[in-house]
Amino acid sequence: MATKGYVTSATLVEQPRPGFWKRSEAVLGRDWRSAWLFFAPTLILLFLLVGWPFVTGFYISFTHTVGTGVAIGPFVGLQNYIALLHDPDFWYSLWITVQFTFWAELFKPILGIVAALLLHNIKRFRAFLSAAILLPWIVPSVVQALIWRALYDPIFGGINYILTFLHLTDNGFDWLGDVHMALWAVILVNVWAGIPFFTVIQLAGLKSIDPELYAASSVDGANAWQRFRYITLPGIAYTQIVASLLSTVFTMNNFGTIYIMTSGGPEDATRVIGILTYERAFNSFNFGSGAAISLILVPIFGFVIWVLAAYMLQGTRAQSADDLPVQIRIVTPVVRPIGKLFTLLFDGGEALFGLFGNGLRAVTGRSPSEPAMGVRTGRTILGIIAGVVLAALLFFELAPFYWVLVSAFKSDEQISKVTSIFWPQPWTMVQINTLLSQTDFLSWYKNTVQVAVIATAIGVLGSAAGAYAIARLRWRGSGVMSSLMLISYMMPGAVMLVPFYQIMVALHLINTLQSLEVLYPSFLLPFATWLLMSYYRSIPEELEDAARIDGANRLQIFFRLIIPLSKPALFAVTLFAVTGAWNEFFFAYILIHSGSLFTLSVGLAEMVIGDIYPVGQMMAASLLMAIPVIVLYSLAQKYMVEGLTIGSVKG
């Protein structure tokens, strides 16, 4: 009989030692085997398409690699970077890039918020107007450049014609040929194309604000300005910061639109860092210096990515100062003065608003305790102002497309003689017929479709599986991999330019469509993975638990449950992938040399020879290139909007 308080051999039950798989789960995570099965394709693609090129480019930047061959030159240490520090061309291009980015990012968020507020408050035709204002953002960058190059044309352009018609100038301006005006001209195009991005993101932020906050503030006597300042702005602060950081990085890496419009001229007035990288590597064939130029700014981009990752992972969750990520605590002292400046500006605006109200009360004979005007009158005036502003924004965003439409159906004589500037007389198909019969336009179309379909399939399949592993499975390393996704997404295209070229030469894929089919998923993979991660997290985990109780394994859950429930996000990712491949110019211009293998963006750019710009054919080509994208977005608009806003307001 066992003594109380002791365990005898009769009562001792030996516990079996956990097996290898159980022990590994304790170290690597409960789902590590399934996670790596799902994440392996994404990791392989990420390594091949981002990691390997980046490491290769990083090494090339420390070598003296010159010439057109594939061989990497001798190691020279920091010589390329030291040379850049004493290179006036580098510092000049950096200054141009900073100016371009600063002014573009000053106007895009402000106008995007204005457009979002106006569209958010519209009850009728909101879907139509939202789709219309998106047009500049969804059309290919080469189309954006061709449209505005035609509008800026000093002889045949619509802008000069309107200015002279209104007697604002006698002879017009050489917008892209004047050293003082060219940079502002390309900034305007970037603002025009970027407003829709901020508009859609801020529409998502506005939808996340509880309407009861506005109702309560109205009861407390808050006016429209106070509601905007204390409810709307804090409510969209998260989406505004994320969108601004993303847009800043993309703007600093702008290449294609500027290159097609000005080639960096006149007199290097628009030679941003991306164009300098291209010129140094592919005009001078100094790949070592070109790689160094593209990489010297990586620490800055890395810091932005580091801060953005922390902010996106933190989301909108309220935290004490001690619990904030170290990145946010580091940038807070820098951001705080900017916040105080905006506070002063809003205080000034509120004071002006109050003075205006007091003056109006004095005119109408109302007491200080009464509203400055009647509710119906106030709403009518605000409605008129909002309508005028929205009309102006829509005109700015859509007028260039009207120019494309009318120019595509004019004859060369109508264009050259500047007759019937706003309406073809008569309408003619001569430009489209010439484009189809005298160029390889149809071959370029076929090449673009082929590349888009194959690249999309690779990117969507890889991102769908990888996002599931990170978002829904428990395994050590998932946080690191999610950060790598964001880093890869934010990696400047110029950083990959030289190494991708060298790798494709080594693999004998240069001047082949396969090089683009392999390359383009690198643009989609990180973005699609992050987007799908947010969507997967919105699916209740109880559904998976129930499926596992019924005996389903992870693969069955993924294909029979998660994929069907994620169709909206998958449609959005597919749409972004197709249009991304359809639009890409930078790498196709570098990797494809044969006219028969050109994609649409490269083929159209090559039709412009020096100052010879066939306006009619360019506008016809822009119209034919934009139509498929517009049709796709029209048919799948709700998926596109949902895809853009997935995760943008989630914490």
Note the pTM of the prediction, 2 decimals: 0.81
Tell me the pLDDT band of 648, cut-offs 50, 70 and 90: very low
pLDDT at 191: 94
Task: Indicate if the pLDDT at residue 319 is higher than 70.
Answer: no
Q: Are 256 and 585 in contact, with CB atoms under 8 Å apart? A: yes
pLDDT at 308: 67
β-partners of residue 63 are 75
Half-sphere exposure (CA, 13 Å, Cβ side) for 515? 25
Residues whose CB falls within 8 Å of the CB of residue 38, separated by 6 or more in sequence, listed in order: 465, 466, 468, 469, 473, 554, 558
Task: Indicate if the pLDDT at residue 645 is higher than 70.
Answer: no
User: Between these two residues, 103 and 472, which has the higher pLDDT value?
Assistant: 103
Share of the chain above pLDDT 90, in %: 11
pLDDT for 565-589, tens place per residue? 888 788 878 887 887 788 788 888 8
Task: Indicate if the pLDDT at residue 312 is higher than 70.
Answer: no
Q: What distance lies between CA 434 and its chain's CA centroid? A: 34
pLDDT for 427-461, tens place per residue? 889 989 988 888 898 999 899 999 999 999 988 88
Q: Are 243 and 644 in contact, with CB atoms under 8 Å apart? A: no
Q: Are 537 and 566 in contact, with CB atoms under 8 Å apart? A: no
CA angle 639, 254, 486 (to 5 degrees): 55
For the chain, give every domain's residue range.
78-318+375-439+607-651, 326-372
β-partners of residue 238 are none
Q: Are 500 and 53 in contact, with CB atoms under 8 Å apart? A: yes
**Would you say the C-alpha torsion 87, 90, 93, 97 has a positive or negative sign?**
negative
d(CA 508, CA 70): 10
pLDDT for 26-57, tens place per residue? 666 777 888 888 888 888 888 887 788 888 88
DSSP secondary structure of 617-651: HHHHHHHHHHHHHHHHHHHTHHHHHHHHHTTTT--
Residues whose CB falls within 8 Å of the CB of residue 383, separated by 6 or more in sequence, listed in order: none
β-partners of residue 286 are 66
What is the DSSP code (8-state) at residue 613? -
d(CA 355, CA 225): 13
Q: Where are the alpha helices (DSSP H) in 323-374?
A: 326-364
In this structure, how many other beta carbons lie within 10 angstroms of the beta carbon of residue 450?
15
Half-sphere exposure (CA, 13 Å, Cβ side) for 69? 6
pLDDT for 484-493, tens place per residue? 776 776 666 6
Lowest mean pLDDT among 109-113, 231-235, 388-392: 231-235
- Exposed / middle / buried, residue 159 (Cβ in 10 Å: 0-12, 13-18, 19+): buried
d(CA 319, CA 312): 14
pLDDT for 8-26, tens place per residue? 544 545 556 666 566 666 6
User: Between these two residues, 6 and 210, which has the higher pLDDT value?
Assistant: 210
d(CA 137, CA 194): 6
| Beta strands in 97-237, from DSSP E residues, in sequence order | none
Tell me the pLDDT band of 179, cut-offs 50, 70 and 90: very high
Highest mean pLDDT among 289-293, 372-376, 572-576: 289-293
Type and span of the H or E element at 290: helix 287-295
Distances, alpha carbon 48 to alpha carbons 43, 45, 413, in Å? 8, 5, 52
Distances, alpha carbon 183 to alpha carbons 104, 144, 253, 273, 585, in Å? 11, 16, 15, 14, 21
Residues whose CB falls within 8 Å of the CB of residue 342, separated by 6 or more in sequence, listed in order: none
pLDDT at 475: 82
User: Between these two residues, 101 and 575, which has the higher pLDDT value?
Assistant: 101
Q: Read off φ and ψ for residue 636, nearest 5 degrees.
A: -125, 35
What is the DSSP code (8-state) at residue 268? T
Lowest mean pLDDT among 215-219, 352-356, 392-396: 352-356
The secondary structure of 396-444, three-state, reads HHHHHHHHHHHHHCCCHHHHHCCCCCCCCCCCCCHHHHHHHHHCCHHHH
Residue-averaged pLDDT of the chain: 80
The secondary structure of 428-487, three-state, reads CCHHHHHHHHHCCHHHHHHHHHHHHHHHHHHHHHHHHHHHHHHHHCCCCCHHHHHHHHHH
pLDDT for 143-166, tens place per residue? 888 889 888 988 878 888 888 888
- Name the region of 647 (left: φ>0; alpha: ψ -120 to 50; beta: rest): left
pLDDT at 470: 86
State which CATH number among 2.40.50.320, 1.10.3720.10, 3.30.360.10, 3.40.50.300 fits the domain covering 78-318+375-439+607-651. Answer: 1.10.3720.10
Place of tokens 């080509």: 621
